[in-house]
Structure 1
Amino acid sequence: MARIACLFLSLIFSSPLYAVGQTWLDPHFVQQAFLEVALKNEHQPGDKPLAKWHQPLKIWLQHKVGDQALHESLVDAHIQHLQQITGHPIYRVSTRQQANVVWIFTRESQWQQDIREEMGQEALKYVRGAICKASYSVSPRTNEIIKASVIIPVDQSRSHGKLLACIVEEITQVMGLPNDSELAYPSIFNDYTPDDFLSPLDVVLLKLLYEPKLKSGMNQQQVTQQLKFLLQRYQHDEVLKDAVTVARSAPLRKMLE
């Protein structure tokens, strides 16, 4: 039987380091950022094939801590934005059996056990320094993402002031952008970005990922070839310029203003 590949993703606590200009307006910068974030993984060296969802993301939330209504409203606001950006269906379901994404709000004293149960023993190798965690599995035949897990120890993430960052980053990464990189800035995929919301660059990266011309299983050469044409169109149609408005219109941002 073919083995289902699994990728592990973590949010590491860091502090702001630097600031740059409007990088999302530069097609070359966007292309390099996409290749770094989409075709690499923080825990595995080398390039990997492109991975994305073909099926809708069906998310089941499990609450092992209080503030259920708050957590649900934060999740709902962010997945609404992700769906608006990508055009890919994302919604919550009422039972675990219906879900392909299991999302657990837990506490620090339980989260290693939750990681072991949901992601396997291997995932515990990457817990050190992390304040929340996600993983996804891909089909060995098509490299499409078929299931995912998100685990947030609420007390731990709040103690670092990173509950919102965990909610935004982990589910965004399991869309198929698994790598953190200093070459992507400003971005939630860069540990030194001070803003916890999706940046204009993140908006562009997500839009690109769910373009029909970019297909699961593509290698770096194939992805690069398509990116050049897509980014020419994005520049001509002012998609790059409009990314600022899309980022600022995030329901989660408006909810917390």
Structure 2
Amino acid sequence: MARIACLVLSLLISSHAFAVRQTWLEPEFVKRAFLEVALKNEYSSGDKPLVKWHQPIKIWVEHRVGDIELHEQLTNAHIEHLRQITSHPIERVSKREQANVIWIYTKESLWRQDIKREIGPHALKHIRGAICKAGYRVSVQDSQIIKASVIIPVDQSRTHGKLLACVVEEITQVLGLPNDSELAYPSIFNDQTPDDLLSPLDVILLKLLYEPEMRSGMNKAQVTEQLDKLLVRYQQQGMLAEAVSLARSAPLHQLLR
């Protein structure tokens, strides 16, 4: 366990996000960030329909590399945090056929073939400069997410000091926040954010996405209307201010203790 603790410590960087401008307290900023991260996609232009899971998320993890205990700790800790934030059912399953999310810890030499098999050949067009990869499929009828994959080449991500970032960002994105944006800060969806864990802004974005009022398939006007109502409620109930404690309560933070 001592070795695991040392490995975790080497993966985590100091948290600077809470010292910057507290953007999650500003409803207009949160609204703009949500519209950018949830309704846009880094690989195509224009606004997209809102996507999210409606069915329970069932994750099967395959380990093709060593340090299994470390990867299990990171995986389980972040899944628990996402479940706490969204109140959406998310669980691990023991068999691949039970899963709608396939999560693979692999190595760089196998990365391309894993992406091609799990996400599809089209995804290979977008791996230039990427360190890890995730993708999801949606229902044609209502845009709800029905299947997803996360592929993390451990040797490649650790070489860049991004194993933790890959664990946190990729599974979070396949919940329905697909876009990286400079307009979201501090956020794991912004490469300039110094922290690899969910920021208070990320917590709010996830909570908003999994409110019952937010339905997959909604367009920008419909999403905006609901955001305005939800953010008034969040502000009145103190939920924006509570985002810091929700971010800091992440089980991943506890691994440092």
Does the TM-score normalized on the shorter chain lie above 0.5?
yes
Matched, 1:92 2:92: yes
> 2:138 aligns to what?
138
> 2:255 aligns to what?
255
> 2:104 aligns to what?
104
Distance 1:104 1:182 in 2: 29
**Aligned runs of 1:55-70 on 2, under 5 Å?**
55-70=55-70
Distance 1:240 1:201 in 2: 9
Does structure 2 conserve the Cα–Cα contact (< 8 Å) formed by 1:32 and 1:183? yes
> 1:120 aligns to what?
120
**Structure 2 residue identity aligned to 1:99:** A
* Cα displacement string for residues 146-194 of structure 1 (whole angstroms, at most 9, x for unaligned residues): 0000000000000011000000000000000000000000000001111
> 2:27 aligns to what?
27
What is the CA distance between 1:69 and its match in structure 2?
1.4
**Structure 1 residue identity aligned to 2:87:** G
Provide the secondary structure at the position in 2 that maps to 1:104: strand
> 1:51 aligns to what?
51
CA RMSD of aligned residues (A): 1.0
Given the two structures, how large is their TM-score scaled by the length of structure 2? 0.92
> 1:231 aligns to what?
231
> 2:163 aligns to what?
163
Distance 1:252 1:56 in 2: 23
Distance 2:242 2:121 in 1: 43
Does structure 2 conserve the Cα–Cα contact (< 8 Å) formed by 1:60 and 1:99? yes
Provide the secondary structure at the position in 1 that maps to 2:193: coil
- The list of structure 1 runs, each at least 4 consecutive aligned residues, that deviate by more than 2 angstroms after superposition, is none
> 1:148 aligns to what?
148
Distance 1:60 1:44 in 2: 29
Provide the secondary structure at the position in 1 that maps to 2:46: coil
Q: Which runs of 5+ in 1 are unaligned?
A: 1-15
> 2:176 aligns to what?
176
Distance 1:33 1:92 in 2: 30
Provide the secondary structure at the position in 2 that maps to 1:114: helix
Distance 1:42 1:124 in 2: 15
Q: Which runs of 5+ in 2 are unaligned?
A: 1-15
> 2:71 aligns to what?
71
**Structure 2 residue identity aligned to 1:223:** V
Matched, 1:39 2:39: yes
Does structure 2 conserve the Cα–Cα contact (< 8 Å) formed by 1:20 and 1:185? no
Number of corresponding residues: 240
Distance 1:191 1:89 in 2: 29
Provide the secondary structure at the position in 1 that maps to 2:132: strand
Distance 1:44 1:68 in 2: 36
What is the CA distance between 1:20 and its match in structure 2?
4.3
Q: Percent identity?
A: 70
What is the CA distance between 1:214 and its match in structure 2?
0.6
**Structure 1 residue identity aligned to 2:24:** W
What is the CA distance between 1:120 and its match in structure 2?
1.2
**Structure 2 residue identity aligned to 1:153:** P
Distance 1:74 1:120 in 2: 26
> 1:9 aligns to what?
none
Does structure 2 conserve the Cα–Cα contact (< 8 Å) formed by 1:40 and 1:178? yes
**Structure 1 residue identity aligned to 2:97:** Q
Given the two structures, how large is their TM-score scaled by the length of structure 1? 0.92
Distance 2:187 2:249 in 1: 16
